[in-house]
Amino acid sequence: MSRSARRAPALASCVLLALALTACSGGGSGGGVEGTAGGSGVGDPYFPKAGNGGYDVTHYDLKLAYDPDRHHLSGTAGITARATKDLSAFDLDLKGLDVESVTVEGKDARGGRSGQELTVRPRDELAEGDTFRVKVRYSGTPVTITDPDHSEEGWLRTADGALALGEPTGSMAWFPGNHHPSDKASYDIAVTVPKGLEAVSNGELRSRRTSGGRTTFTWHTAEPMASYVAMLAIGHYDISTTTIGEDELPVYTAVDPEQADASRKVLAKIPEIMEWATYNFGPYPFSSTGAVVDREDDAGYDLETQNRPVFTGAPDTETLVHELVHQWFGDSVTPKSWRDMWLNEGFATYAEWLWQEDNGGDSTQDIFDALYRGDYFDNAKANKEIWAFPPAKPSSAAHISDKPVYWRGAMVIHKIRQTVGDDAFYDIVQGWAAAHRHPADHAADAGSGPPTCGVVVGCRLPHARLRSRGGTPTTPLTWVDESPLPSCDLIRRTGP
């Protein structure tokens, strides 16, 4: 996400219903099931009900239809998952919408709803290790979710259609699933809209068929995707397709006609930015790239949706860099919990600094120094806000997108670079991106904390201390001025 503030303008734009489940027939007693319930969350420190226990989703097959005039969404979600324990029941996250039926392995299942939890009780036992297929049919008026920080996500109506955005929890407004970044899956998303509208999603467009006044767009995402970066954009768009480089990486951009003129020049930089980012951060982790540009008031922020980020309003170059670099940090390497969002945003923000440094702008050291002195932003309040909390310790869900997560996160990364030197730094960063390249199953990552933190924690430079120390620019921070600097031997061992 980009809600980052820059010098000018001082602050850039960047940033339930509990409906009774229609009873499914033939629920019976659920006899034969010997397992236990999977659980209604995965213990995220900021969003405890996000995600669900007892299974991992491997694939979502979504078939959706949206009528903008009626503001009506109908869908069938086919979910393929693997049980990680013996299950008598499991939850899916879904907000709003009416559930019409649920089947598990083709048999009607019983279910119930409470808040964002859709609890499914299959007829037959699901044993640990079983792969099972769930089908949920649903429809209704999709909801817009207002986050604890007052931003809006989920299903956003736009002047000519809709925009579905999901950080951190909005995807449960348009499909049932295991909505936590620790469970990634591949996706097929088919969207039917009135003829004349476009429907843009993640991955690659496999087909586009018009029949009976409606057009169905089918998108395929092979690389594992966290649901918070799944996206849908429905409306009138100028579509452009091209390729980058010898490998012919497909580029698909969709731009609201109102934003076409303002976007043309900056979107033409996508190939250059992709080449620059690949040089710095290693091979691009996905099969296609691009961008969606909607109108400024459609969301009020930009988001690193997988393959092609969404911008509300034509982005500036640094914002485009920020969201494209998120493809490496945030989309491919994902946080295990929302406490680790500073790793997403720290790297994406630091990429903006690196881009400026490489393109005749301020050096990363100048930016760091100005932030540390407290005169980077035009207003004193903004300069002070950077120090409100350690980046990995927002005080509540309302603060996970605050300045420390972005700016102080980037400062941490700068200190690591300064400590180890450029050669080791880029080895670390590329090794980290390669080692944790879109893992489909985070359950395989043992230990606490984000798998992505391994390298940073290994350095012991900032991370451990960030968790325990606050400070202001006038209170020297251990991670800023500690001498002698800690050993970073562990970094080298976790490199490529």
Pairwise CA distance, residues 396 & 27, whole Å: 40
CB of 370 to Zn ion, least distance (A): 20
CB of 349 to Zn ion, least distance (A): 7
- Report the residue number, 167 or 188, with the smaller CB distance to Zn ion: 167
The pair of three-digit structure tokens given for residue 119, joined into one six-digit string: 């609890």
φ, ψ of residue 30 to 5 degrees: the values are 70, 25
User: Using CB under 5 A, which of the segments 2-10, 90-98, 151-159, 443-451 binds Zn ion?
Assistant: 2-10
Residues 6+ apart with CB under 8 A from 211: none
- Report the residue number, 116 or 401, with the smaller CB distance to Zn ion: 401
Torsion, Cα 92 129 453 393, to 10 degrees, reads 30
Q: Where are the alpha helices (DSSP H) in 55-203?
A: none
CB of 122 to Zn ion, least distance (A): 38
* Sign of torsion over alpha carbons 459, 460, 466, 469: negative
Rule CB under 5 A: is residue 165 a binding residue for Zn ion?
no
Contact 451, 336 (CB under 8 A): yes
Instruction: Work out the burial of residue 315: count CB atoms within 10 Å of its CB; fewer than 13 is exposed, 13-18 middle, 19 or more buried.
Output: buried
Mask for 200-219, x = binds Zn ion (CB under 5 A)? --------------------
Pairwise CA distance, residues 243 & 285, whole Å: 16
Contact 55, 87 (CB under 8 A): yes
- Report the residue number, 343 or 348, with the smaller CB distance to Zn ion: 348
Among 1, 42, 189, 491, binds Zn ion (CB under 5 A): 1
- Report the residue number, 153 or 345, with the smaller CB distance to Zn ion: 345
Rule CB under 5 A: is residue 299 a binding residue for Zn ion?
no
CB of 167 to Zn ion, least distance (A): 9
CB of 323 to Zn ion, least distance (A): 7
* Sign of torsion over alpha carbons 180, 181, 183, 186: positive
The pair of three-digit structure tokens given for residue 352, joined into one six-digit string: 């903006």
- Report the residue number, 1 or 233, with the smaller CB distance to Zn ion: 1
Rule CB under 5 A: is residue 2 a binding residue for Zn ion?
yes
Rule CB under 5 A: is residue 334 a binding residue for Zn ion?
no
Torsion, Cα 296 190 175 107, to 10 degrees, reads 180
CB of 243 to Zn ion, least distance (A): 26
Q: Which residues 464-493 are close enough to bind Zn ion by CB under 5 A?
A: none
Strand ranges across the sheet with 110-114: 36-37, 87-93, 117-121, 110-114
CA-angle at 369, arms to 366 and 373, nearest 5°: 140
CB of 1 to Zn ion, least distance (A): 4
- Report the residue number, 132 or 286, with the smaller CB distance to Zn ion: 286
User: Using CB under 5 A, which of the segments 17-25, 340-348, 416-424, 477-485 binds Zn ion?
Assistant: 340-348
CB of 94 to Zn ion, least distance (A): 26
Contact 282, 328 (CB under 8 A): yes
The pair of three-digit structure tokens given for residue 216, joined into one six-digit string: 């169905």
Rule CB under 5 A: is residue 312 a binding residue for Zn ion?
no
- Report the residue number, 97 or 429, with the smaller CB distance to Zn ion: 429
- The answer to whether the bond into 168 is cis (omega within 30° of 0) is yes
CB of 14 to Zn ion, least distance (A): 8
Rule CB under 5 A: is residue 94 a binding residue for Zn ion?
no
Rule CB under 5 A: is residue 12 a binding residue for Zn ion?
no
DSSP single-letter state for residue 268 = T
Rule CB under 5 A: is residue 405 a binding residue for Zn ion?
no
Q: Which residues 429-448 are close enough to bind Zn ion by CB under 5 A?
A: none
Among 12, 299, 348, 466, binds Zn ion (CB under 5 A): 348
Contacting positions for Zn ion (CB under 5 A): 1-2, 345, 348
